[in-house]
Amino acid sequence: MKILLFANTDWYLYNFRRALVERLRDLGWEVVLISPTGRYGEKLRELGFRWLPFYFENKSLNPLKELVVLAKLVRLYRVERPTLVHHFTIKCVLYGSIAAYLTGRVPTVNAITGLGHVFTDSGKEMRLLRPVVKMLYRLIFSLNRAEMRTVFQNTEDKAFFAQKGLLPETLMRVIRGSGVDCVQFSPATASREPLQGPVKILFASRMLKEKGINDLAEAVTMLKTKGLDIEVILAGDVYPGNPSSLTTEELAELCRDSVLTYVGHHDDVRQLIAGADIVVLPSYREGTPRILVEAAAMEKPIVATRIAGCQGIVEDGVNGLLVPVGAPVALASALERLVMDRGLRKTMGKAGRGIVLEEFDLSIVLQKTFAVYRELLPQLPRPTLET
C-alpha cells in the first residue's frame, strides 16, 4: 500500500501530521510526502520519511502558471501511482484531487483544515476569487465522488460547504484536528506557576492579521494602563507570501513599548506553553487550532473568540473564556478575570485536560482517520492505534 500526503508546507507535515505518517509506516505502508521546500523537508528525511519537494505559489493567480503546476503534479502522481492520497489546504485539495482523478481515480481524502483566506478576507481580490474557488470545489467533488471523502475540523465549516451546495453531506466527515499526544503534552511537562511575578500570557500561532494580533495588542495596552503585572509573548512565523501576514516592521511596532514580546518560531511549543499561565487566541476563523488543544492538554486556561473551531475546544466558563470577534474591550476583560484569579486558572486548566482526553487525544483522531481510509479501501485491517 502506498499513501501520498500533499500539503502546502513541509512545516505542516512535520508538526501536524508526523504522528499519522509514523503510524502508517509502522503498519507497513509506503509513505510519500509532498510539499514546497522549507526547512522541515530535510527534518522529515532525517526521520526516514520520503519527502519530495514540489514548488507552487500559494498566492499565485496566474492561470498559465497554475496549469503548469497542475500538469507537473499529474505527472508526479502518475510516476508514484499511490493507492490512496490525502490532501491538506485549499490549493492542495483542488489540484491534488484533479491529479488523482486523471491518474486513474485514486481514492482521495481531502482535509479542509479551515475555510482559508479566500473565504475569510473581505477584500476585493478575494471576493472576486471566491466564485472561482467554489466552482472548482464543485468540479473536483463531482469528478471522483464515489472514491472521495472530505474531512472537516469543525461542524461549522462542514455546514458551510453543505449550505453552498459544494458537496453532499453523505461524503463529509468531521475529525477535530490532527490530534495531540496527551503523554507528551501533559501537566507533568508544565512548569509550576510561581506565586509571585508577572502573569504570563502566550499567543502562539502564525503572525496573520486574522489571528487577532492587533486586537490582542489593544487589549494588553488596556491592561497595562490599569497597572496589571503581565507579560505577553507572541510566538510564531511571519509569512511574507501571505497577504494577511504581519511584517517584521509591524511586529516591531507592536512590541515597541514593551506591550508585547515577539520571540519568533519555536520548534518545541511545549516549552512555551509550560512557561505560560494563560493561552490566548483572539482569531477570526479557525479549523481546530492545535495550540488550544495542546494548551488544554497541559492544563492551561484559554481565552479565545466565539468562533467555529475554538468553540469545539473551549467551553465558556469551564476550561476558558470566549469573547466576540474583534472586541478588544471584551478580550481585555476576559484576560483580566483570569489574571486576577489564580484559583480559577487552575480549575479551568484541569477541566481542559479532561476535554482533550475525551475528544482530541491522538489515538482518537488516528482511529477516526483510519476509519475514513477504510471507507475507501475496505480491505484495510483495523489497526490498533493507542498512544
Would you say residue 138 has pLDDT above 90?
no
131 within 8 A of 125, measured Cβ to Cβ: no
Residue 381 lies in a domain: no
Would you say residue 346 has pLDDT above 70?
yes
More confident residue, 62 or 227: 227
CB atoms within 10 A of CB 173: 17
Average pLDDT over residues 218-229: 93
Of 28-32, 38-42, 187-191, 283-287, the poorest mean pLDDT is in 187-191
Render pLDDT for 148-194 as a digit per residue (tens, 0 to 9). 999 998 888 888 888 877 788 888 999 988 889 999 999 876 665 66
More confident residue, 278 or 142: 278
- Domain check: are 117 and 262 in the same one? no
Would you say residue 25 has pLDDT above 50?
yes
- Domain check: are 173 and 220 in the same one? no
- Domain check: are 165 and 209 in the same one? no
More confident residue, 167 or 102: 102
- Domain check: are 350 and 367 in the same one? no
Collect all residues with Cβ–Cβ distance below 8 Å to 23 and sequence separation of at least 6: 366, 383, 385
The number of domains in the chain is: 2
Strands 30-35 and 261-262: unpaired
* Type of residue numbered 354: G
Q: Choose among 190, 188, 216, 189: nearest CA to 204.
A: 216
Residue 254 lies in a domain: yes
- CA–CA separation, 183 vs 18, rounded Å? 16
pLDDT of residue 341: 95
pLDDT of residue 190: 61
Residue 384 lies in a domain: no
More confident residue, 164 or 74: 74
Q: Which residues pair with 278 in a beta bridge?
A: 201
- Domain check: are 229 and 315 in the same one? yes
- CA–CA separation, 166 vs 94, rounded Å? 13
- Domain check: are 202 and 112 in the same one? no
Would you say residue 196 has pLDDT above 90?
no
Of 93-102, 111-120, 174-183, 316-325, the poorest mean pLDDT is in 111-120
More confident residue, 369 or 136: 369
pLDDT of residue 117: 57
Average pLDDT, the chain: 88
- CA–CA separation, 25 vs 19, rounded Å? 10
pLDDT of residue 159: 85
**What is the CATH classification number for the domain harbouring 119?**
3.40.50.2000
Would you say residue 257 has pLDDT above 80?
no
Residue 232 lies in a domain: yes
All three cell numbers of 317, joined, read 466558563
Q: How far apart are the first and last CA of the chain?
A: 23
pLDDT of residue 383: 63
- CA–CA separation, 141 vs 168, rounded Å? 9
Question: Residue 387: which pLDDT band, with cuts at 50, 70 and 90?
Answer: very low
- Domain check: are 265 and 318 in the same one? yes
pLDDT of residue 191: 61
- Domain check: are 132 and 164 in the same one? yes
pLDDT of residue 252: 86
Residue 352 lies in a domain: yes
pLDDT of residue 316: 96
Residue 70 lies in a domain: yes
Residue the block writes with cell 468562533: 307
Of 117-131, 227-241, 269-283, the poorest mean pLDDT is in 117-131
pTM, rounded to two decimals? 0.84
- Domain check: are 7 and 153 in the same one? yes
State percent of the chain over pLDDT 90. 58
Would you say residue 61 has pLDDT above 70?
no
- Domain check: are 60 and 207 in the same one? no
Print the SS3 string covering the chain: CEEEEECCCHHHHHHHCHHHHHHHHHCCCEEEEEECCCCCHHHHHHCCCEEEECCCCCCCCCHHHHHHHHHHHHHHHHHHCCCEEEEECHHHHHHHHHHHHHCCCCCEEEEECCCCHHHHCCCHHHHHHHHHHHHHHHHHHHHCHHHEEEEECCHHHHHHHHHCCCCCHHHEEECCCCCECCCCCCHHHCCCCCCCCCEEEEEECCCEHHHCHHHHHHHHHHHHHCCCCEEEEEECCCCCCCCCECCHHHHHHHCCCCCCEECCCCCCHHHHHHCCCEEEECCCCCCCCHHHHHHHHCCCCEEEECCCCHHHHCCECCCEEEECCCCHHHHHHHHHHHHCCHHHHHHHHHHHHHHHHHHCEHHHHHHHHHHHHHHHCCCCCCCCCCC
pLDDT of residue 62: 72
- Domain check: are 77 and 99 in the same one? yes
Q: Choose among 365, 368, 367: nearest CA to 357.
A: 365
Question: Residue 385: which pLDDT band, with cuts at 50, 70 and 90?
Answer: low
Our measurement of the distance from residue 175's CA atom to the centroid of its chain's CA atoms, rounded to an integer in Å, reads: 12
Q: What angle do CA 38, 43, 47 make, to 5 degrees?
A: 150
Question: Residue 120: which pLDDT band, with cuts at 50, 70 and 90?
Answer: low
Q: Which domain holds residue 150?
A: 2-178+362-376
All three cell numbers of 270, joined, read 511545549
Would you say residue 144 has pLDDT above 70?
no
Average pLDDT over residues 262-281: 91
- Domain check: are 123 and 258 in the same one? no
Residue 53 lies in a domain: yes
Average pLDDT over residues 18-46: 94
pLDDT of residue 189: 65
Residue 386 lies in a domain: no
